[in-house]
Chains A and B, each alone.
Chain A
């Protein structure tokens, strides 16, 4: 087989409940700060759950003139802001690279849910002529990838992955392919999601997927803890700049980490429940290790999918045990702090993992009080931990049984 083209991560742009921008984001992760609180975007009277992890103090005008954002639904605004911050972080002037060599792959589980809700109400109360002419353009899940390319002029491969909570994992895998195949030198990649809407919250409540700790939102997300009771719904977008290693070196970019490889698999088991033995998760991690040319002992840290559902955390533990045997590396879930950003979960975990490699510091699993024998892992409980790590993998799994793992290495 020919040598794989090496890939660098040169920029990170988080728009998350624990911070906007890489420094506030990493400060929060390292300090173990929660982004959860009462829902402020609408009245939650009658909802079984009244809290979530919302992005605070976000104004699209800080990133683009109002006129140009008129057709950006909130999930697209998040993705645009995240992309702009990632490009800035990478020291990339968007007009410098050959535009045909820059791709965009930004995933989303759903897209513009709120707009669909609003226009469904309009349709039912005022009739078909009241539906917005730009509904389709704004709500479609690929609107974010399209808008980012339009605003920056990036003409390379452009797509959106739609694999629920694995969407940004699949996006990063596609980005790796585009660079390795020589279809692009730079790919702006990640995920975005805005599920905190009346219909979104009601639906996740109805599915009994969410934590009901309404009296204590900040301690509600408890991955791997015996008393976990579901995930905390979150919104946001994290976008990363993947860049051909030689191109990044040639322009003198600061390389944050190396993208080593990816694995993808399907549970082929159930639409929303994980395969309990973690067979699909293990296959995915195995594939990522093989693609990255790593052996299990090389991996110093796993960023778990770890959403804090009873079944999911146990199944992931089983998968990790299948791959890493009796001595798995430290494994934490940043969802204990950020909540579950669904289609943006994988790229948000990747951001924390890349910073972990940069700073040689493992992000904690907060709210960890009572170990669960079914999740027998070193979860880096409650405090960030200094560690010497050369490689790490992130897991991200989605409804539908989609699994994606991405391996990163120290720069």
Chain B
């Protein structure tokens, strides 16, 4: 449940705020190579989700994230462990 919500929130930010083409936003998509994000974009996405779910992610935790699915895993684990 949390993972679906987080994934949907991530997609919203990518499409609405960062204007990424909705058709390219899949779980396997590489955030940088496929979706064209840079490090500031990634922080923008993470911040929006942090605020929505009242979680905090450290810079170190983000270092291994390269796909949308990995981002959803990391963030939804935070949400679940907060619950």
**Complex interface residues of chain A between 123 and 146 (CB less than 8 A to chain B):** 126, 129-130, 132-134, 137
User: Are B17 and A129 neighbours in the complex by a CB distance under 8 Å?
Assistant: no
User: Are B19 and A69 neighbours in the complex by a CB distance under 8 Å?
Assistant: yes
In the complex, what distance in Å separates the CA atom of A180 from the CA atom of B51? 52
In the complex, what distance in Å separates the CA atom of A69 from the CA atom of B19? 8
User: Are B44 and A133 neighbours in the complex by a CB distance under 8 Å?
Assistant: yes
User: Are B19 and A70 neighbours in the complex by a CB distance under 8 Å?
Assistant: yes
Known contacts: A129-B56, A133-B40, A137-B40. The answer to whether A67 contacts B21 by CB under 8 A is yes
User: Are B40 and A66 neighbours in the complex by a CB distance under 8 Å?
Assistant: no
The listed residue (B19, B36, B47, B51) touching A133 by CB distance below 8 A is: B47
User: Are A129 and B40 neighbours in the complex by a CB distance under 8 Å?
Assistant: no
User: Are A130 and B51 neighbours in the complex by a CB distance under 8 Å?
Assistant: yes
Contact with A along B2-24 (1 / 0, CB 8 A): 00000000000000011111000
Contacts of A130 in B (CB 8 A): 47, 51
The listed residue (A70, A126, A137) touching B18 by CB distance below 8 A is: A70
Contact with B along A259-276 (1 / 0, CB 8 A): 000000000000000000
Verify if B50 is at the interface (C-beta below 8 Å from A): yes
Contacts of B18 in A (CB 8 A): 67, 70
User: Are B17 and A70 neighbours in the complex by a CB distance under 8 Å?
Assistant: yes
Contacts of A132 in B (CB 8 A): 44, 47
B59 to chain A minimum Cβ distance, whole angstroms, is: 12
A76 to chain B minimum Cβ distance, whole angstroms, is: 15
A residues at B contact (CB < 8 Å): 65-67, 69-71, 126, 129-130, 132-134, 137
A335 to chain B minimum Cβ distance, whole angstroms, is: 35
User: Are B19 and A129 neighbours in the complex by a CB distance under 8 Å?
Assistant: no
B36 to chain A minimum Cβ distance, whole angstroms, is: 7
In the complex, what distance in Å separates the CA atom of A70 from the CA atom of B19? 7
User: Are B36 and A134 neighbours in the complex by a CB distance under 8 Å?
Assistant: no
**Complex interface residues of chain B between 36 and 53 (CB less than 8 A to chain A):** 36, 40-41, 43-44, 47, 50-51
A251 to chain B minimum Cβ distance, whole angstroms, is: 34
In the complex, what distance in Å separates the CA atom of A4 from the CA atom of B20? 48
User: Are B44 and A126 neighbours in the complex by a CB distance under 8 Å?
Assistant: no
Contacts of A133 in B (CB 8 A): 40, 43-44, 47
In the complex, the chain A residue whose C-beta lies closest to that of B56 is A129
B5 to chain A minimum Cβ distance, whole angstroms, is: 20
In the complex, the chain A residue whose C-beta lies closest to that of B46 is A133
Kindly list 6 other residue pairs between chains A and B, CB separation below 8 angstroms, not including A67-B19, A129-B47.
Answer: A70-B41, A71-B40, A132-B44, A133-B43, A134-B40, A137-B40
B65 to chain A minimum Cβ distance, whole angstroms, is: 15
A283 to chain B minimum Cβ distance, whole angstroms, is: 44
Contacts of A65 in B (CB 8 A): 19
Contacts of B47 in A (CB 8 A): 129-130, 132-133
The listed residue (B20, B43, B56) touching A67 by CB distance below 8 A is: B20
In the complex, what distance in Å separates the CA atom of A129 from the CA atom of B50? 10
B56 to chain A minimum Cβ distance, whole angstroms, is: 7
The listed residue (B19, B43, B50) touching A66 by CB distance below 8 A is: B19
Contacts of B20 in A (CB 8 A): 67
A308 to chain B minimum Cβ distance, whole angstroms, is: 40
B15 to chain A minimum Cβ distance, whole angstroms, is: 10
In the complex, the chain B residue whose C-beta lies closest to that of A66 is B19
**Would you give 21 A-B contacts (Cβ < 8 Å), ordered by A?**
A66-B19, A67-B18, A67-B19, A67-B20, A67-B21, A67-B36, A69-B19, A70-B17, A70-B18, A70-B19, A70-B41, A126-B51, A129-B56, A130-B51, A132-B44, A132-B47, A133-B43, A133-B44, A134-B40, A134-B44, A137-B40
